[in-house]
Amino acid sequence: MTPEEISSLVIETIHQVIADSGRKVDQVSPDDPLREKLGLDSLDLAVVVVRMQQETGLDPFRRQRQSIHNVENLVRAYQEELTTV
What are the DSSP calls for 19-43, one per residue?
Answer: HHTT---S---TT-BTTTTT---HH
Q: Could you tell me the pTM of the whole model?
A: 0.90
DSSP-derived secondary structure letter, 83: H
Q: How confident is the model at residue 17 (pLDDT cuts 50, 70, 90)?
A: very high
Q: Which CATH class is domain 3-84?
A: mainly alpha
**Could you read off the pLDDT of 20-35 as tens digits, one per residue?**
999 988 899 999 999 9
Domain boundaries, the chain: 3-84
> Across residues 41-59, what is the average pLDDT?
95
Q: d(Cα 50, Cα 48) in Å, to the nearest integer? A: 6
